[in-house]
Amino acid sequence: MATGGVARLVCGRWSKWIVLALWIVILGLAGPLAGKLTEVEKNDNSAWLPGNAESTQVVDLQRQFQPDDIAPAIIVYERPGGLTDADRAAAADDARALAGGEGVAGPIVGPIESPDKAAIEVIAPIRIDEDGWDALPDIADGLKATAEQGAPGGLEVYLAGPVAAAADSAGAFAGIDGTLLYTTLAVVAVILLITYRSPVLWLLPILTAGAALAGSQAVIYLLAKHADLTVNAQSAGILTVLVFGAGTDYALLLVARYREELRRHEDRHEAMQFALHRAGPAIIASAATVAVGMSCLTLAELNSTAGLGPVAALGVVVGLAAMVTLLPALLVIFGRWLFWPARPRFGTPEPTATGLWARLGGRIAHHPRRVWISTAVVLGAMALGLLQLNATGLSSADQFTTEQPSTVAEQALARHFPAGGGQPVTVIANASSADQVRQAFASVPGISEVTDPVARGDLVLIDGTLASAPDSKAAQATVEQARDVLHAVPGADAKVGGGTAILVDINAANDHDNRLIIPLVLLVVLVILALLLRAIVAPLILIGTVVLSFAAALGVSALVFRHVFGFPAEDTSFPLFVFVFLVALGIDYNIFLMTRVREEALQHGTRRGALIGLAATGGVITSAGIVLAGTFAALASLPLVAFVEIGFTVAFGVLLDTLIVRSVLVTALNLDIGRWMWWPSKLSRVPDGDGPNAAVPPATTEPEPEPEPVR
């Protein structure tokens, strides 16, 4: 096998030092580039919007009317008992002070007094400087400080509008890379310490994963800078979690097999060669499944989703490269003492043959059909929680786990002014049809007022104020109706955009992506499994178990979100992201198990091989699942509801998959179906002589063929 040749290269007596030196050179080159990844992140609208959506076209056309680096900030002054002359004077003074001030890119609008005489708004167009996203919190703080400085006692001052909302989002994403990295490191370190019970061994997987992260960040930086790859804070954060989670999984599988081989081979180089030869195909197949599954995201309409695909795939590929080259080299360099105090000595028995998972397999073997049917029924019952799923999108007020200043400000603005005043609906049309477009726009129910057309060349721009909150369902329905009305104006070629239109287009794009990518990922995973296991029945059954696990995880999560966390809804991209992560990553554990089962079935039959496979891989797969769950749970450290929802669901789903689906459901199915799992391969035609009650033999059988030993 090809893995035998690779094994001889990475863990030979001299070549291991070459591998280490090569990685030192790679990290020396990659380190400075990895640190620049945040410089090429795109967190503006274009990084998230569907590429060809109508709202995206409006964003592009608006540049003819105003620069795209200008956004409005709305200062709101509120006195519930009614404004005083001093309040009005303070607002007027602030408006004059802001005019021509630093960062202000145009004339100040207002002060505008509310109809109920209890509030005033002042609108300032703000230029976002070259620091862009990172500068917004400071800009917002400066504007509010200016307004509060001269405010009379009892007058409340708020900052609303796009600048305030963007500032809160920027603050939430600030330090996301560092927060996730340190949280993930802590989680992985603790779990590895518990798993290995060694004060030293846990360091090598973490160091290797860190090297993989730096290498992948460097490659992604170069592609973002020179190949127009879209990277945003979301994809950069998920990259950290994915590389550490998946990479550590591969490390656990390799180290477990290496420890087995150290009991069979006196020479550690030879032991590592055998470990790579046997575990390598499963690790490579798992990484290929994740990488190809993530690459399917590139077909998404939503730019943020499409950009995540290559970012995640590259992270997994670099992680794989590190785990099958750098980690084996480090393990053989340091020797057996790494496992202290439980060093695997040559000739000692393999403890997994009589451990917890061997005993569990023996219990399942008594009544496998009863076990898999009852397990499937329980998972199906858990999936009923899907009735509570509400993946229709999160409003501005619901996007954060804590109350944000911009949300409070928008509520104050809505108490006294039209709800959609801060985020108008923008229409751009041919100038020749300006009057007809304005008249049709004004006739749309839910549009309270429209501005006079502003002409630039052959185009005109008209803004309309929504009667409903911009992120409400009513406002989205108004935008859809406005599009129907304005598209019907002859020769106008009218396009409807703005904040609410962006939400409409994002939701539509997510619906499209769900329908396209979910079936595609299932097909890709099915093909990879069929090629790896050389069968059709087993892949179909494994896909079925993973989908059932996904549905159960989603159902339980929906109930928890609604009744424990108090989240009113899920982001529209939530089902797709969770599906891709759970299916692409969850299938890893079935690959780890089933490749070992097939290996043992060649000598012992499928039923006995299933018990050996569970006994040999149960501990390492469970540890890998706990590591991956812990890394995704780190997403909950961020104050963003969408990240908390993804992190919780993936973590719960991975634990469900490793502890129940893989160990109980799949094992019971293997025992019940027997050799027919491998149909139509030759293995399905070999009589399975061992009954389901067969005892578990020692998991120390060495299959043929063996790779050549290290010289």
The model's pLDDT over 682-711, given as tens digits with 9 standing for 90+, comes to 887 776 654 444 444 444 444 434 444 444
Q: What is the mean pLDDT of residues 656-666?
A: 88
One-letter amino acid of 82: G
2 pLDDT above the threshold of 60: no
The C-alpha atoms of residue 489 and residue 428 are separated, in whole angstroms, by: 13
What is the model's pLDDT at position 295? 87
> How high is the pLDDT of residue 21?
92
What is the band of 536 on the pLDDT scale with cuts at 50, 70, 90? very high
pLDDT at residue 100, as a whole number: 66
Whether pLDDT at 665 is above 80: yes
- Tell me which of 12 and 277 has the higher pLDDT: 277
Beta strands in 5-106 (DSSP E): 70-78
**Whole-number pLDDT of residue 707:** 43
Residue with token string 């408006």: 95
Please report which confidence band the pLDDT of residue 426 belongs to, taking 50, 70 and 90 as the band edges.
Answer: confident
Q: What sign does the dihedral 534-536-538-543 (CA atoms) show? A: positive
Report which of residues 460 and 66 the model is more confident about: 460
Instruction: For residue 236, count other CB atoms closer than 10 A to its CB.
Output: 23
- Supply 636's token pair: 């909950």
Percent of the chain clearing pLDDT 70 (strictly above): 88
Mean pLDDT of 39-49: 65
Q: Which of 115, 138, 110 is nearest to 125 (CA)?
A: 110
At a CB cut-off of 8 Å and minimum separation 6, what does 108 contact?
95, 98, 99, 122, 123, 124
pLDDT in tens, 491-500: 888 888 888 8
Mean model confidence pLDDT for the chain: 80
Q: Which of 52-56, 237-241, 350-354 has the lowest mean pLDDT?
A: 350-354
Confidence grade of residue 560 (pLDDT, cut at 50, 70, 90):
very high
CA dihedral 46, 52, 57, 58 (to 10 degrees): -80
With cut-offs at 50, 70 and 90, classify the pLDDT of residue 68.
low
pTM of the shown model = 0.77
Residue 695 is predicted with a pLDDT of: 43
Lowest mean pLDDT among 1-5, 349-353, 556-560, 632-636: 1-5
Q: What is the pLDDT of residue 565?
A: 87
The percent of residues above 90 in pLDDT, for the chain, comes to: 8
Between 636 and 478, the more confident residue is 478
Distance of CA 415 to the CA centre of its chain: 37
User: Is residue 505's pLDDT more than 80?
Assistant: yes
Q: Give the closest residue to 293 by CA, choosing from 662, 703, 603, 581.
A: 581
Question: Do the beta carbons of residue 700 and residue 350 sit within 8 Å?
Answer: yes
pLDDT in tens, 574-599: 888 888 888 877 777 888 888 888 88
Q: Which one is predicted more confidently, 129 or 363?
A: 363
Q: What would the mean pLDDT of 315-344 be, rounded to a whole number?
A: 86
CB atoms within 10 A of CB 28: 9
Helices (H), 336-432: 356-366, 368-383, 405-416
Inform me whether the pLDDT recorded for 509 exceeds 50: yes
pLDDT at 703: 41
Provide the 3-class DSSP secondary structure of residue 50. Answer: strand
What domains appear along the chain, each with residue ranges and CATH number? 1-50+175-252+290-338 (1.20.1640), 69-172 (3.30.70.100), 405-504 (3.30.70.260)
Asked if the model's pLDDT at residue 566 lies above 70, the reply is: yes
pLDDT band at 45 (very low <50, low <70, confident <90, very high): low
Q: Report H helices in 443-536.
A: 473-487, 499-533
Burial 131-147 (b: 16+ CB within 10 A, else e): eebbebbebbeebbebb
pLDDT score recorded for residue 374: 94
Nearest to 502 by CA among 51, 43, 66: 51
Q: Who's near 368: CB < 8 A, 6+ residues apart?
A: 667, 668, 669, 670, 671, 672, 692
pLDDT (0 to 100) of residue 370: 92
For 349-384, what is each residue's pLDDT tens digit? 666 556 678 888 888 888 899 999 999 999 999 999
Q: How confident is the model at residue 419 (pLDDT cuts 50, 70, 90)?
A: low
